[in-house]
């Protein structure tokens, strides 16, 4: 990480520039750095522990859960920055199931996922990727709200 830290800080400064407050830009950069570090769970508690002196659990939790910022601007900056690097020749829309044991995570329900090939407890997400012959990168993504929350029943595609 030390070898690329300056480049990562420059990247974070550019991507998080739309944030209204300096503390949001700082914690955005810290959060991004931690996402790239080795380590298991990427929830606030273990992330803060791995960050050492930057591991203010309360500040990191506030950034992730309560700090008002719009991800649309960050994702747009990411897409504009990556486009000349990979020179996309295609857009890919992909759905993915994230299998879950419990129901504590957002948008978890029993629903069909191709990941498991059946109805199971999971989150379902969709992503948009810019792609070329050699690489791709996600530039937009979201979790889908379970159908039960919208008044319908989850079922396999038909």
| pLDDT, tens only, 37-48 | 777 777 777 777
Query: In this model, does residue 36 exceed pLDDT 90?
Result: no
Cα–Cα distance between 148 and 155 in angstroms, integer? 10
User: Of 59-63, 92-96, 106-110, 149-153, where does mean pLDDT reach its minimum?
Assistant: 149-153
Q: Give the per-residue pLDDT at 51.
A: 74
Q: Give the per-residue pLDDT at 53.
A: 65
**3 state SS of 130:** strand
Contact (Cβ atoms closer than 8 angstroms) between residue 123 and residue 107: yes
Instruction: Output the pTM of the full model.
Output: 0.68
Q: Give the per-residue pLDDT at 158.
A: 44
Helices (H) and strands (E) in the chain, counts: 5, 4
Question: What tens digit of pLDDT does each residue of 66-118 get?
Answer: 888 888 888 898 899 899 999 999 999 999 999 998 878 889 999 889 999 99
Cα–Cα distance between 31 and 57 in angstroms, integer? 11
Q: Average pLDDT for residues 10-36, to the nearest whole number?
A: 87
The more confidently predicted of residues 1 and 130 is 130
Query: In this model, does residue 8 exceed pLDDT 90?
Result: no
Q: Give the per-residue pLDDT at 124.
A: 92
């Amino acid at each position: 990480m030390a070898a690329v830290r300056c480049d990562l800080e420059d990247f974070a400064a550019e991507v998080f520039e739309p944030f209204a407050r300096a503390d949001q830009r700082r914690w955005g950069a810290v959060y991004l750095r931690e996402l790239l570090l080795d380590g298991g769970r990427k929830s606030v508690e273990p992330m803060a522990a791995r960050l050492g002196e930057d591991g203010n659990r309360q500040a990191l939790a506030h950034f992730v859960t309560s700090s008002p910022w719009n991800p649309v601007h960050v994702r747009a900056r990411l897409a504009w920055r990556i486009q000349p690097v990979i020179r996309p020749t295609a857009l890919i829309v992909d759905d993915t199931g994230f299998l879950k044991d419990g129901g504590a995570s957002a948008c978890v329900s029993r629903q069909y996922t191709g990941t498991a090939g059946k109805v199971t407890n999971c989150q379902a997400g969709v992503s948009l990727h810019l792609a070329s012959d050699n690489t791709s990168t996600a530039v937009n993504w979201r979790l889908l709200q379970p159908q039960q929350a919208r008044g319908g029943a989850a079922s396999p595609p038909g």
